[in-house]
Chain A
Amino acid sequence: MEYGSIERELHVDASPEVVFEVLTSPEHIRDWWSAETDLEPAAGATGSLMWTDEDSGRRHSSPFTVVEADPPRTFSFRWTHGEAETAGPGNSLLVTFELVPTGTGTTVRFRETGFRERGWEAAVLEAHYNDHRQGWDFFLPRLAASAGRLAAAR
């Protein structure tokens, strides 16, 4: 059992080019991540993701560093490191999207790693990860339902 990562795979009925554009353009990131960003999909580019709490108006941000941008196949970045730090293994989480053409659509392979390396006590990490799995079991059916409603509303 690997406790250090989250992995997901899903099929999208859109070309890899379209999926890559949605994943990497600030315009779409605003929609799917509710975040304002100055992200540029180029290896080594740095920037920040910023969220505004609608109730309090408070702003929160996280830096990110693009690790790899190979349209329309691979997009990966590191985030959650300290503002003044250079992102690397041990101080940040690494998110990777791999896009594989499948028929007329795309298989998206998502992976977030680095939970283990961030130095949390093993017990806390394990409880954390186990709860993640329970969380997925609870949320997935609801998400599928709300995604269906969203698609119907468009």
Chain B
Amino acid sequence: MSTAIDDDLWSAIGDPTRRRVIDLLLAEGQGTATTLSAYLPVTRQAVAKHLVVLDRAGLVRSVSEGREKRYHVDEAQLARAVAQLNSVGAMWDARLQRVKSIAEAIQRAKNTEK
């Protein structure tokens, strides 16, 4: 349960346009910044930047095609990504247990003072 990996993932998919890009790539099978931008309210250049972020997180892969790159979702990486997201619930359990132990320690200290 590495917080760093989870946060990396959150920052890659924490952006609604990037999540839409992943959804489009899953639906279409593949796409370029140009074809994807037709479905999105942002420029081709903006889509290209989002694809770079997703690529860095390992969520998409590309093959060069003329002047453009054609992207598809890396399913193994997406499965890993989903597995990372799966730990969200478990992480809240850990956080809540820490909240409990901190609050109870403070309460015990207060009770002793009285």
List chain A positions with a Cβ less than 8 A from chain B.
6, 8, 10, 12-15, 18-19, 21-23, 28, 31-34, 51, 53, 55-56, 58, 60, 62, 80-82, 85, 90-91, 106, 108, 110, 112, 118-121, 124, 127-128, 131-133, 135-136, 138-140, 143-144, 146-147, 150-151, 154
Contact = CB atoms under 8 A, between A and B. Distances in A.
Interface of B: 3-4, 7-8, 10-11, 14-16, 19-20, 23, 26, 78, 82-83, 85-90, 92-107, 110
Contacts of B20: 119
B93 A18 contact: no
Nearest to B105: A154
Chain B binding surface, main DSSP class: helix
Nearest to B8: A60
A60 B19 CA distance: 19
A125 to B, nearest CB: 9
Contacts of A28: 99, 102
Nearest to A33: B95
A131 B79 CA distance: 12
Contacts of B88: 6, 112, 132
A51 B102 CA distance: 20
A86 B93 CA distance: 28
Given A8-B93, A58-B4, A136-B93, A119 B16 contact: yes
Contacts of B101: 147, 150-151, 154
